[in-house]
Chains A and B, each alone.
Chain A
Amino acid sequence: MSTLTPPAGRTGCAPAAKTPANSSLASNRTDTVSVAPARRREDGAAGALPVLGHPTGRSSRFIGRNGAQILLQMLLEHGVTDAFGYPGGAILPTFDQLYEKQLNFILVRHEQGAGHMADGYARATGKPGIVIVTSGPGATNTVTALATAYMDSIPIIVFSGQVRTYAIGNDAFQEADVTGITRPVTKRNYLVKNLKDLPRIINEAFVIATTGRPGPVLVDLPVDVTTAKMEDPVDDTPNLPGYRIYKGGHSRMVKAAADLINASERPVLYVGGGAILSGAWQEVRALAEKGNIPTTTTLLGLGTFDENSPLSLHMLGMHGSAYANYAVQDSDCLIAVGARFDDRVTGNLKLFAPKAKVVHLDIDPSSISKSVKVDVPVVGDAKLCLRDMLLHIESRPRQAWLERIRQWKARFPFTWKDDSPLPKPQAIIEAINRITGGRAVFTTGVGQHQMWAAQFIRWNRPRSMITSGGLGTMGYGLPAAIGAQVGRPGELVIDIDGDGSCLMTVMELATMHQYQLPVKVAVLNNRFQGMVRQWQKLFYGGRFSHTEMVNPDFAALAESFGVRGLRCENKADVPRVVEEMVKHPGPCLVDFICETDENVYPMVASGKALDDMVMGVVGETPPNSGRDMGTLA
């Protein structure tokens, strides 16, 4: 048990943590992790814990190495190829180890950016994103990124420097209680007080970040721990007696769920980010197609289901499609897969899906019946549960239901009106969608542009929509795009950003330039915090209190960073400029000047039922309401 493949440089290490964390968990039980690694080897199950690509146990392999060397060695053992961060005094021993470039290290311009890059990297690849920063301000700068990753269940691991163990608690220079500050926004965090604990803690960090419901982990590393030399053999086996990884669902529940689905006439499949984390898109498709079940996704689930399919209802929720929201409200069986009934999705909880029995597949028991009462809970990994469930699903035509949905879709498509001199933001996104065929990795900021991206790009691949859903972090898009590009170097990565959002992390253009990462940034520049403006217009009598912004010349700004900068202000130029942006071989930012006075529709105002939408231009022609349509079928 104690031997281990020595670190073999980048290429040799690459395969270990390739697969999305949960995709190959194989058996119908839960595991407590302290025993799992040993069992994995013997029973030959296809990698029960793929996160630990090597055996663990008592080992002498760290003897004579200092903490920083051990950290690097173990990162390589875990298959880490890339990391993001920023140096400083308390993390210098670790940075010294990065000098040899065994890792592709990306120096950022702000630690928040490092966190979002790691997050974008994780969402784009399924591998955990790694961050290395210094103590005090370096660590506190990652808090927003940790909270963002925590809300959306994204595996990132932050290694932060800390002052010497004996100085902790003395208000030492650049000391902050980082484990205290980050506890509510991490799945687990550690302050490593003894070098002998470091190998075990690093293994635990990887297990916790990437298994079950994934999430961020922070490891605080006092500088005397990273400089101390290991003298004795240590056991690096994770010790997690309280940590359970749910795998396949309870067979009785799986069967009960299938029975409910088979008996339903108007089922709707409601798929969330958990389906991506689980790698369950094939199973989702199989379920939809076998049962003829219309399928809607959350913002974070976009891409799990091909939106070109006639069964697709596109996104649901506050700014989701009218037809998805009508379908959910009319459904007699709502099947939630890796989705958590967020308030942006349900609208008024009391009026949500009133006719539906609810099936909920989720790996986190605390997601179940948290806000919506569930009739059949299935706790487990979405892919494994769906696989089992599919065996019991009967194929059903459900013609009447599909016909009603077809009519809703025909009558209430996402739409917008070309009625302003400046291009509408939607026009730009449509052009991007047309020119790329939706075949790019997209990231977004937060605001109207984010919603329009969700609505007007036809999502057809998992891991192609990278956006901050739960926390709604402005400034996420640009660094997340950099992270995605690092993780998927050959691919087209486009950040669809807002002028407000973009400026929050714009300094990362320098990172893009330094590493010549060919990210494209499309700034939908409405010179406003458009989303807030929309609320002020609709609910605050048009008093635009502090939402108008005097912006820099974004193209010139980009050029000053060494990034190609373009500007587009005419409708007629939009397709050509999008084309130019996409074709540009290096990093490129386009300032798309667009109409300010435009709202996102449909919209479910707060407190309203999901089908009680402000429709705006949606469904304007023909002018009937959805309710009339509903009784047609």
Chain B
Amino acid sequence: MRHVITALVMNEPGVLAHVAGMFSARGFNIDSLVVGRTDDPNFSRMTIVVIADDRTLDQVRKQLGKIVTVVRVRDYKESPFVARDLMLVKLSAPPKVRSEVIELAGLFRGRVVDVGQNTIMVELSGEEDKLDAFVELVRPYGIRELARTGVIAMARGAEAVRSAGSEDQRPAAGASPLARREPLARRQPSQAELEATPPG
């Protein structure tokens, strides 16, 4: 199963190396790892997607918590959460197909952020599936270059991993693979929740 874990870490050198080193030393499987600032300059926030069964997930959480510079750890196995991935993709788009591509991007609520003579760059964010679907759709046009941040996530509702607003995420290690991936493990929402929560 793919699980999303959030870790609030002290903002100092070596922390990323420590976390990444721990994953490799213990043979845990990272699918993606994103680090970014938070509203509090003392802390950064990592979102890690791991491939693990329940036992391993438990160890991953505990081993993360054991690192002195890791302040809080949370996984989203038991609670509803929002997960987002951000992508920049540069497509071959000579003038005759340009408008088609722009239209496709629009359907996915993507933004065209750069237009060259024969290329177009689209920015797209959302759930991983949506990005994957877009990638498949535009593949025939020719993908020149593609970059994804990997997932960031946050629990729904009032509960927070210490500092809430994280703007301005910078991608770090581990771009996620383009191959089809299994969906992120999620608690199944109840009908009531489905009705109450706005569509992601």
The reply to whether A241 and B71 form a contact with Cβ atoms under 8 Å apart is: yes
Return chain A residues, CB-CB under 8 Å to B71: 241-242
- Kindly supply a per-residue 1/0 record for chain A positions 167-190, scoring 1 wherever the CB is within 8 Å of any chain B CB and 0 otherwise: 000000000000110011001110
The reply to whether A179 and B14 form a contact with Cβ atoms under 8 Å apart is: yes
Return chain A residues, CB-CB under 8 Å to B62: 365-366, 368
The reply to whether B63 and A366 form a contact with Cβ atoms under 8 Å apart is: yes
Interface size on B, residues (CB 8 A): 22
Query: Is A227 close to B, CB under 8 A?
Result: no
Query: Is B170 close to A, CB under 8 A?
Result: no
The reply to whether B68 and A187 form a contact with Cβ atoms under 8 Å apart is: yes
The reply to whether B65 and A365 form a contact with Cβ atoms under 8 Å apart is: yes
The reply to whether A364 and B66 form a contact with Cβ atoms under 8 Å apart is: yes
Bound state CA distance, A187 and B66, in angstroms?
9
Please choose the segment from B17-25, B83-91, B113-121 that sits at the chain A interface, where 4 or more of its residues have CB less than 8 A away: B17-25
Query: Is A359 close to B, CB under 8 A?
Result: no
In chain B, residues 10-46, which have Cβ atoms closer than 8 Å to a Cβ of chain A? 10, 13-14, 17-18, 21-22, 25
Bound state CA distance, A183 and B18, in angstroms?
7
Return chain B residues, CB-CB under 8 Å to A184: 21-22, 25
Return chain A residues, CB-CB under 8 Å to B59: 366, 370
Return chain B residues, CB-CB under 8 Å to A242: 9-10, 67-72
| B interface majority secondary structure | helix
Bound state CA distance, A536 and B120, in angstroms?
66
Query: Is A208 close to B, CB under 8 A?
Result: yes
Return chain B residues, CB-CB under 8 Å to A243: 68
Bound state CA distance, A189 and B13, in angstroms?
11
Bound state CA distance, A241 and B8, in angstroms?
10
The reply to whether A180 and B68 form a contact with Cβ atoms under 8 Å apart is: no
Bound state CA distance, A208 and B59, in angstroms?
21
The reply to whether A183 and B14 form a contact with Cβ atoms under 8 Å apart is: yes
- Kindly supply a per-residue 1/0 record for chain A positions 365-393, scoring 1 wherever the CB is within 8 Å of any chain B CB and 0 otherwise: 11011100000000000000000000000
A-B contact pairs, 26 of them (CB 8 A): A179-B14, A180-B14, A180-B17, A183-B17, A183-B21, A184-B25, A187-B68, A188-B68, A188-B69, A191-B13, A208-B68, A241-B10, A241-B71, A242-B9, A242-B10, A242-B67, A242-B68, A242-B72, A243-B68, A364-B66, A365-B62, A365-B65, A365-B66, A366-B63, A366-B65, A366-B66
4 closest pairs, A vs B, by CB? A366-B62, A242-B71, A188-B68, A241-B71
B contacts, CB < 8 Å to A? 9-10, 13-14, 17-18, 21-22, 25, 55, 58-59, 62-63, 65-72
A contacts, CB < 8 Å to B? 179-180, 183-184, 187-189, 191, 208, 240-244, 364-366, 368-370
Known: A183-B21, A365-B65. 19 other contacts (CB 8 A): A179-B14, A180-B14, A183-B17, A183-B18, A184-B22, A187-B68, A188-B69, A189-B14, A240-B68, A242-B9, A242-B10, A242-B67, A364-B66, A365-B62, A365-B66, A366-B59, A368-B62, A369-B55, A370-B59
